[in-house]
Amino acid sequence: MGAGKRGLVTAAVTVVCAVTVLAAPGTAFASPSPSPSPTPSASATAGTNKDLEAVRQQLDDLYHDAAVATDEYNAAEEAADQQSAAIVALAKKIVKGKEKLAELEKRAGDAAAAQYRTGGLPDEAQLMLSDDPQQFLNGAGRILQGQRATKGLIAEMTRTQEDLEQYARDASAQWNKLEANRKTKAAAKKKVKKQIAAAEELESQLEKEEKERLARLEQQAAYQAQTAWLDSGILDEINGKASTQGKKAVEYASAQIGKPYEWGAEGPGSYDCSGLTSQAWASAGQAIPRTSQQQWKQLKHVDVADMRPGDLIIYNADASHVAMYIGDGAIIHAPRPGRTVTVAGAGSMPILAVVRPDA
């Protein structure tokens, strides 16, 4: 690794990684190992740290499950919005269809009234009673046109009636899906709240000194993961330049730093992880899926070595978290409840994939 790049890596580690996904406000990774806190004895420290590490892992699990449930909630909400829009569109079609059918019925009624005024005789019978050859020839053409018009009118009325029936069936199906998604959304909301409440309850049981040491353990875990990622030499390979849209997305995400995480939120005052990334790209004129899992499934995948600022990094084996790469080994993301939108190390969490919204 060249001296210039090594300096960049060092800066990324000491500055960018200082504010990690798990870092507590007011703390930083100024050195590889956080300063130890005063304790009665080494053995007591080991035991306490072991217990706190178990707490840290438990908190990670609870917040991870909350993130998964948040994705389920967001997906159900997005689907419900689409289904509501579909129902509205179908309702408009039904209204237009009824108006069209009423007009066709009026035309049919006018034709029937005209026939009544001529004595109720079919056009063919009236024509046969005519003794004027020219009138006969002219009338034959009109009768043929009239028959075609009548058949066309009947066919159009039939099609319109069938369309109305199909619209009604479609609307009913969309309504059933909407109701199902409302139930899914409610269940996910309940699960999110349960997981977050359990995490908050666990944290509330810790003393102030324990919370401080727990924060240092969290920082250390994120720092070690980022350092290992950088030490692999990956940053030497990553030199992609941001696209015009990518720059706009990064600018938007950067402007949100410091705003609180809120599950299910997509701005402007608060965000969850995919709410931040989807809104950042929306600001750049590119619509992308709402959830981290759908962003992972639907957007184009690129190699980590090929990523550029604006690309999204999907984390965890279940794609339960997403962040925006901003260059120099750093990301911007909305971490979890109790945290704010922040800068962190791109390797501070297990990377699943990198996706490109504007591929």
Residue 301 annotated as catalytic:
no
Does 321 participate in catalysis according to the annotation?
Answer: yes
Give the SS3 label for residue 264. coil
User: Can you tell me whether residue 130 is helix, strand or coil?
Assistant: coil
Strand order in the sheet with 351-356: 300-302, 351-356, 312-315, 321-327, 330-333, 342-345
Catalytic annotation present for 17:
no
> How do 351-356 and 330-333 pair as beta strands?
unpaired
| Cα–Cα distance, 340 to 271 (Å, whole number) | 9
Cβ-proximal residues to 75 (8 Å cutoff; 6+ apart), any chain: 290, 291, 293, 294
Contact 314, 292 (CB under 8 A): yes
Cα–chain-centroid distance for residue 75?
7
Single out the residue of 342, 347, 358 nearest to residue 28, CA to CA.
342
Matching residue, tokens 């791109």 = 346
**Cα 223 from Cα 225, distance rounded (Å):** 5
Q: What is the token pair recorded at 30?
A: 């100024």
DSSP state of 147: H
**Type of residue numbered 10:** T
Asked if residue 268 has a cis previous peptide bond (ω within 30° of 0), the answer is yes
What single-letter DSSP state applies at residue 30?
Answer: S
- Among residues 17, 64, 301, 321, the one annotated as catalytic is 321
| Residues counted in the chain | 359
Q: Which residues are catalytic?
A: 273, 321, 333
